Structure 1
Amino acid sequence: MTGVPAPVPAFPHARLGVAVLGCGSIAQSAHLPAYTRHGVDVVGVWSRDATRTEGIRDRFPAVRRVYRGLDELVADPDVDVVDIATGPVGRLDLVAAAVRAGKHVLAQKPVVADAEEIPVLEGLLAEAAERGVRVAVNQNGRWAPAWRVTTALVREGAVGEVVGVTHLHDKPLPPIAGTPFDRVPHMLLTDYLVHWVDITRCWLEGRVVAVITAQDSRLPGQPADAANPWHATMTLACEDGASAVVRVVGDVRTRRPACPYWVHGTDGTIRGSVLGGSDAVALERDGTTTAYALEGEWFVDGFAGAMAELMRAVDEGRAPEHDAAHVLATARLVLAARDSAAAGGVPQSVRVPLTRPGGRA
């Protein structure tokens, strides 16, 4: 039960042209470096804030042009995929513009910011299907090397039936105070931890989440100018008794930053870690421990993996693994966690099926 896990998806031979919409910090620190490293054809970029694209071609020579506006970007016949790297406000309008221009979409997470946006997105996905274009969500954590190997092991049954998933954020938080993210209510639960929730739902595929409980709180010593709580804990309980916990202790002070995780099953345990140079995966089963060699890092190879999977899905005529319809379950979990925290930690009864990509149970 320890076969070679699936590697980060390779790009298809015929590369698609990509336009990056939004040139903020994440686009310049992850998207564009990933595409440069992996030879993605970046046809052009555009930002609603023109100062973000000043000198962009000097920093990233692979960028062929800077667009003057959204209409020019979506009208460019060289663009096959629009990578929407903006914040959540107005994101669905940008998805709609790309879809109606016949472009495939890779949209930043979270795919929706409120429950009211879910039916809007579902309507856009129906329209995309009619037009023959794919809409994926940039859940690039699915291609973080350690998490990717773990997903492959879970899917091949290496630990038997998964009974519990645990994540601990044992590293400093990224700079939050004074950024737009700090103005997002319950930001850790609704934005930062989306990757952790998304990968957890991948490891609990086939289950149905029944109850979500979440809390967040300010910490002793947290600066007054930091509007959002620096602690958050989320618990998912499934109908069959399987469970998951995601915990951010706070802005941890440590010489060995890491994000350790455990996947416990009926036949074994996977122990691993991501970020901070801590990447590792080991499977314990039948009295034997097997450690897996890892190539690459979440930042920035995970971003290339998300784009490669979308391009390969287009090439093969199938839904991508991070298809927006699949990621909607992640969004529902995150929104329920926000509601629980807003209510002071009151458990939220839900029914969220966690299917395999493509709708398979």
Structure 2
Amino acid sequence: MTTVGIGMVGHAFMGRAHSHGWRSVGPFFAPPLTPVLAALAGRDAERAGAAARALGWAAVETDWKALLRRDDVQLIDICTPGDTHAEIAVAALEAGKHVLCEKPLANSVAEAETMAAAAARAAERGVRSMVGFNYRRIPAVTLARKLVADGRIGTVRHVRAQYLQDWLADAGAPFTWRMDKDRAGSGALGDIGAHAVDAAQFVTGQTVTGVSALLDTFVGERPVPGGGTARVTVDDAAVFIGRTSGGALASFEASRVAAGRKNALRIEVAGSAGSLFFDLEALNELWFHDAAEDAATAGFRRILVTEPVHEYAGAWWPPGHLLGYEHTFTHQFADLLTAIDAGTDPAPSFADGLQVQRVLAAVQDSAAGGAWTPVERSV
């Protein structure tokens, strides 16, 4: 096999980002398998057709199940709301299709467990799956992980993770599916808090083992396009503290009402020998402090993570020519295609997605019960 036919379900924001990534991965990374944009699935034939023409897809289906019957589709890319993830992913894996599923993996732990079990069974037949935590593929984030793993900051003592946005700060912002618990599972917590949890765990190499949390919904009704209002059934913001498997203290924030913050995923890790800091709104930069340096000149220094020695960066432009949000998807697809060709399980796996789902569930339980809540451990 030298090509992989892609069947994508959904064509809105994530569908556009994924389409761009699939189109650009071949020219820049020359992966061992060449992706072919075989078919896009969307419920509305007219809208799906327009999206397919604009985004470069060869065919259109109005039922995602039709993708599973197509011989020219070997991989299903799921870019739909969370309430559909489990059904599509499990059916695709059972049909022998590789699967990439957007985060969070599901809307509940039970659904995520079903998906992880299906992925484990499929892997025994050589069918691969991955969850789309694309921020792991930012060169600065991979450098942060390497510095921690290499012991450059010593023993991890404190982790601070925030993901702050402001697109719902205005009470007049319209209601969307992201504010409906039945479709989204949760609000800021699952939408962007999942990214903060995964990024913190990825950089430190540790998992969150327990949490104490608060959730709040500041705007309970949102206008519906065309008139009227709808009740918001998810959180606008989440705040929680935690403990990691390595004994570090952790604090997390996720908000879609943080005025002035557009897309601020911020990770700071403090250790016994130094610290590092990353902010998605300056995604080509990593700030690093080595506590062993002379006190007269020691302090955080800015690393521009665009050198060819930095992971992924060498495939793009000369040093200093910056990368952006869209490149993270290209990196994700390069790694996925390489793993499929090599017959290895890509990361993050569905099991990794399940672990994040368990953290989110513990946060919700803690906020509801007002108590410290352990994160369920994988067996």
| TM value normalised by structure 1 | 0.82
In structure 2, do the counterparts of structure 1 residues 26 and 284 end up closer, same or farther at CA, with 3 Å as the change threshold?
same
The answer to whether the aligner puts 1:281 opposite 2:286 as a matched pair is yes
Other-structure match for 2:101: 107
**Following the alignment from structure 2 to structure 1, what is the Cα–Cα distance between the partners of residues 261 and 199?**
26
Secondary structure, aligned partner of 2:304 = coil
Structure 1, gaps ≥5 residues long? 1-12, 354-358
Deviation at 1:351, TM superposition (A): 4.9
Report 1:231-310 matches (<5 A): 231-238=237-244, 240-248=246-254, 251-254=257-260, 258-275=264-281, 277=282, 279-285=284-290, 286-287=292-293, 289-295=300-306, 297=323, 299-310=325-336
Other-structure match for 2:177: 180
Equivalent residues of 1:16, 1:81 under 8 A apart? yes
Other-structure match for 1:151: 145
**Following the alignment from structure 1 to structure 2, what is the Cα–Cα distance between the partners of residues 180 and 71?**
22
Other-structure match for 1:22: 10
In structure 2, do the counterparts of structure 1 residues 36 and 70 end up closer, same or farther at CA, with 3 Å as the change threshold?
same
In structure 2, do the counterparts of structure 1 residues 126 and 34 end up closer, same or farther at CA, with 3 Å as the change threshold?
closer
| Deviations, residues 155-198 of structure 1 (Å, cap 9, x unaligned) | 22221222111123454246874010111264111332111111
**Following the alignment from structure 2 to structure 1, what is the Cα–Cα distance between the partners of residues 113 and 356?**
15
The answer to whether the aligner puts 1:160 opposite 2:157 as a matched pair is no
Deviation at 1:297, TM superposition (A): 4.5
Other-structure match for 1:342: 368
Secondary structure, aligned partner of 2:277 = strand
Equivalent residues of 2:140, 2:286 under 8 A apart? yes
Structure 2, gaps ≥5 residues long? 27-34, 223-230, 307-321
Equivalent residues of 1:159, 1:265 under 8 A apart? yes
Equivalent residues of 2:5, 2:75 under 8 A apart? yes
Other-structure match for 1:8: none
Secondary structure, aligned partner of 2:104 = coil
CA RMSD of aligned residues (A): 2.8
Equivalent residues of 1:19, 1:83 under 8 A apart? yes
The answer to whether the aligner puts 1:34 opposite 2:40 as a matched pair is no
Other-structure match for 1:10: none
Deviates more, 1:330-339 or 1:165-174: 165-174
**Following the alignment from structure 1 to structure 2, what is the Cα–Cα distance between the partners of residues 35 and 174?**
30
**Following the alignment from structure 1 to structure 2, what is the Cα–Cα distance between the partners of residues 265 and 311?**
35
| Deviations, residues 122-152 of structure 1 (Å, cap 9, x unaligned) | 3312321232101111111211333232222
- The one of 32, 39, 44 aligned to 1:44: 39
Report 1:41-120 matches (<5 A): 41-60=36-55, 62-120=56-114
Deviation at 1:294, TM superposition (A): 3.2
**Following the alignment from structure 1 to structure 2, what is the Cα–Cα distance between the partners of residues 32 and 230?**
29
Deviation at 1:84, TM superposition (A): 0.9
In structure 2, do the counterparts of structure 1 residues 86 and 259 end up closer, same or farther at CA, with 3 Å as the change threshold?
closer
Deviates more, 1:234-243 or 1:79-88: 234-243
Deviation at 1:348, TM superposition (A): 0.6
Equivalent residues of 1:162, 1:203 under 8 A apart? no
The answer to whether the aligner puts 1:215 opposite 2:214 as a matched pair is yes
Equivalent residues of 1:214, 1:235 under 8 A apart? yes
Q: How many residues align?
A: 335
Deviation at 1:267, TM superposition (A): 1.3
Equivalent residues of 1:146, 1:274 under 8 A apart? no
- The one of 325, 336, 355 aligned to 1:329: 355
Deviation at 1:290, TM superposition (A): 4.6
**Matched residues, percent identical?**
24
In structure 2, do the counterparts of structure 1 residues 69 and 183 end up closer, same or farther at CA, with 3 Å as the change threshold?
closer
Secondary structure, aligned partner of 1:69 = coil
Equivalent residues of 1:208, 1:351 under 8 A apart? no
**Following the alignment from structure 1 to structure 2, what is the Cα–Cα distance between the partners of residues 350 and 155?**
24
In structure 2, do the counterparts of structure 1 residues 261 and 130 end up closer, same or farther at CA, with 3 Å as the change threshold?
closer
The answer to whether the aligner puts 1:200 opposite 2:197 as a matched pair is no
**Following the alignment from structure 2 to structure 1, what is the Cα–Cα distance between the partners of residues 264 and 64?**
39
Other-structure match for 1:4: none
Deviation at 1:308, TM superposition (A): 1.7
| TM value normalised by structure 2 | 0.79
**Following the alignment from structure 2 to structure 1, what is the Cα–Cα distance between the partners of residues 47 and 168?**
21
Equivalent residues of 1:19, 1:81 under 8 A apart? yes
